[in-house]
Amino acid sequence: METLVTIERAIEIARQVATIQTTESVPLTEAHNRILSQDLISKVDDPPFDNSAMDGWAVRSSDIERVKIGTTAAGSHPSKIGEGEAIRIMTGAPMPEGSDAIILIEDGLGGKAHTNFIRRQGENLSKGNVALRTGQVMTPAAISLAATMGHATIPVRVKPRVAVISTGDELVTPGEELEAGSIYESNSYGLCALLEKIGCKPLLQEIVIDSLDTLRTTLDSLECDLILTSGGVSMGEFDYVRILMEQEGEIHFWKVAMRPGGPPLFGTWKGTPLFGLPGNPVSSHLVFTMIVAPWLSPETPLGNNVQVRLKDAVKGAPGKVCLRRIRISSEADQLVATTHTHQGSGNIHSMVAHNGVTLLPPDINANPGDIIDALWLL
């Protein structure tokens, strides 16, 4: 077991445990955010035939005078024109045989004939082109492109099934009454949403009380590809996730040099990979963002690395990368960052009031005007 590892080393250690990589075929209506598991070739030219990009008349550019002989629209069979003839044409209609130009509707039939308002067969894609590659996240545009290429279903990675467990005697499900000393359980809901965002299938479990036996029974009952717990991984007497993993599981690393988010652990429980996330809400969210997501689904990062000019002072952390919550916006030709709320790791509001985090290197305090690395959260 390694302790107090860097974020990069944590991901590397987790990579030594393989994630599942089976594939399935899904219809395009279910493809959103899925990850393509094979290169996809186009079954057709795009466009499949020369067609008009505008409403107007299809004509021969060499003619001086023209008479209208018919009309063609998108979906019509290709028509034909001869010398001095014009066909009224709608956007998307096949160019009539013999025509090579379009007169725009607003110019009238006596207007200028343009040869550039024709969308040529195959100008976007040729049959056989690979336009979507393995690992592509199926965004709305990628889904439309797959359809354009003639695919009704596409091969995607099977969604990893991830069990999400919160631990703690103090936790109460939202909607129920809070008793003295209790708080609403919140981590699991955010973690499930994060999992969905990176193409996984969250399996939300009941809250587990601080008891070694209950935790063991719960872990043994799971059927999943990954276990995500929150809480119970620090040095406390009742931090049973750490204690159980130490005694009966296998820990590969414990503690990461980041703040917030210091105490996570990673290992396996009877062969199933397990991430023990810290209980503090900001910590669990950021450890997921920085370590779990890059390991589980490198194709779907939860943020973009940027450089920002600070408007407020930001305090660093001794020996740890410091992830202060910042609001990133653009000003003149630069990204700037401001801070707005209390930065405690228990304050999940700080993750909503801001849209990014600093990636302040260990032992560095930054001042207004400094340009620093940051993660702009998606």
Distance CA 361, CA 314 (A): 12
Q: Which two tokens stand for residue 292?
A: 């779990």
Confirm if 321 and 354 have CB atoms less than 8 A apart: no
Give me the least distance between CB of 182 and ligand AMP, in Å please: 9
168 is a contact residue toward ligand AMP (CB under 6 A): yes
CA gap 232, 207 in Å, rounded: 12
- Judged by CB under 5 A, which of 160, 168, 202, 356 binds Mg ion? 168
**Contacts (CB under 5 A) with Mg ion, residues 224-283:** 231-232, 279
Nearer to Mg ion, 232 or 281 (CB): 232
Residues 207-246 that bind ligand AMP (CB under 6 A): 230-232, 234, 236
Task: Give the residue with the Cβ less far from Mg ion, 231 or 281.
Answer: 231
Q: What mask, x for binding ligand AMP by CB under 6 A, covers residues 239 to 278?
A: ---------------------------------------x
Q: How far is the CB of 138 from ligand AMP (least distance, A)?
A: 31
Instruction: Read off the tokens for 201.
Output: 């299938």
Place of tokens 């596409």: 154
Name residue, tokens 């996809």.
Answer: 40
Tell the burial category of 108 from Cβ atoms under 10 Å away from its Cβ (0-12, 13-18, 19+).
exposed
- Please tell me the distance from the alpha carbon of residue 247 to that of residue 230, in angstroms, as a whole number: 18
Q: How many CB atoms lie within 10 A of CB 171?
A: 21
Count, residues near ligand AMP per rule CB under 6 A: 19
Structure token digits, residue 321: 């990368």
Of 117 and 240, CB closest to ligand AMP: 240
Minimum Å gap between C-beta 363 and ligand AMP is 25
- What CA–CA distance (Å, rounded) separates 89 from 100? 13
Q: How far is CA 346 from CA 139, 161, 260, 324, 342, in A?
A: 33, 28, 10, 13, 10
Q: Is the peptide bond before 155 cis (omega within 30 degrees of 0)?
A: no
For ligand AMP, what does the binding mask look like between residues 177 and 196, x meaning CB under 6 A?
Answer: ------x-xxxx--------
Give min distance, CB of 345 to ligand AMP, in A: 8
Which of ligand AMP, Mg ion, none interacts with 111 (beta carbon under 5 to 8 A by kind)? none
CB 348, min distance to ligand AMP, A? 8
d(CA 315, CA 198): 31
Encoding tokens for residue 141?
A: 């545009």
* The entry of ligand AMP, Mg ion, none that residue 166 binds, CB within 5 to 8 Å by partner kind: ligand AMP
Shortest reach from residue 167's CB to ligand AMP, in Å: 6
Specify the residue, 190 or 356, whose C-beta has the smaller distance to ligand AMP: 190
* Closest to 22 (Cα-Cα) out of 132, 161, 115, 120: 161
Q: Which residues bind ligand AMP (CB under 6 A)?
A: 166, 168, 170-171, 183, 185-188, 230-232, 234, 236, 278-281, 346
Which residues contact Mg ion (rule: CB under 5 A)? 168, 231-232, 279
